[in-house]
C-alpha cells in the first residue's frame, strides 16, 4: 500500500473492535485454535471487525507502531478479558535491563500455542519481541 504505515496501538484496537472472537469452528470463525495453521487473509469470513478488517484476531500477531521497554513477564489479564486467562495474552510486565533495544508491540495474537493454549484475542498485547524479530507468526497491516 503506497503511503501506508503501521497503525498505532490505539488505532489497532479501534479497528479490531471489542467483541470476543469466540470459538474456532475451523472454517469461518477467527483462527484462534492452537492446533490450527495460518490461513489466507479473508478466508475466515466470520472473522471481520465492524470496520471491515479481516483477521485482526488470531492467525498471526500484528506489529503496531508503539514501543516499550522489553517485557520480562506475561501476567495475563485474569478476568478482564472475558473471564479466561488463556484467550488474551498480556505480556507487559517487568522491564528487561539487559536487552539494549526496546520492544515493538504486537496485537491480536496468533494461532501458535503459548503454554498449550492459543493466545489470540482482541485484548492480546505482547511487548517482548525486538524490532529485529521475524517469523511465521508475526505480520503487519498498513493504514492511512
The pLDDT, as a whole number, for residue 134 is 80
Lowest mean pLDDT among 7-21, 25-39, 110-124: 110-124
HSE-up of residue 105 (Cα within 13 Å, Cβ side) = 23
CB atoms within 10 A of CB 32: 27
- Do residues 136 and 38 make contact, with C-beta atoms less than 8 angstroms apart? yes
| Closest C-alpha to 62, from 92, 107, 105, 104 | 107
Q: Which residue would you say has higher pLDDT here, 127 or 84?
A: 127
Spans of all domains in the chain: 1-144
User: Which runs of consecutive H residues, i.e. helices, occur in the chain?
Assistant: 9-16
CATH code of domain 1-144 = 3.90.1580.10
pLDDT in tens, 57-84: 888 889 999 998 888 888 777 665 554 4
Mean pLDDT in residue range 120-141: 82
Amino acid at each position: 500500500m503506497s503511503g501506508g504505515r503501521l497503525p498505532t496501538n490505539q488505532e489497532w484496537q479501534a479497528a479490531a473492535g471489542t467483541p470476543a472472537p469466540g470459538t474456532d469452528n475451523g472454517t469461518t470463525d477467527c483462527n484462534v485454535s492452537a492446533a490450527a495453521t495460518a490461513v489466507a487473509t479473508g478466508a475466515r469470513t466470520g472473522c471481520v471487525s465492524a470496520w471491515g478488517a479481516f483477521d485482526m484476531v488470531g492467525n498471526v500477531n500484528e506489529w503496531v507502531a508503539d514501543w516499550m521497554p522489553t517485557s520480562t513477564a506475561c501476567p495475563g489479564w485474569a478476568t478482564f478479558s472475558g473471564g479466561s486467562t488463556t484467550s488474551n495474552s498480556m505480556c507487559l510486565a517487568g522491564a528487561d535491563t539487559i536487552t539494549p533495544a526496546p520492544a515493538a508491540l504486537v496485537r491480536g495474537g496468533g494461532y501458535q500455542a503459548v503454554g498449550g493454549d492459543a493466545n489470540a484475542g482482541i485484548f492480546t498485547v505482547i511487548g517482548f519481541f525486538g524490532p529485529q524479530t521475524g517469523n511465521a507468526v508475526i505480520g503487519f497491516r498498513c493504514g492511512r
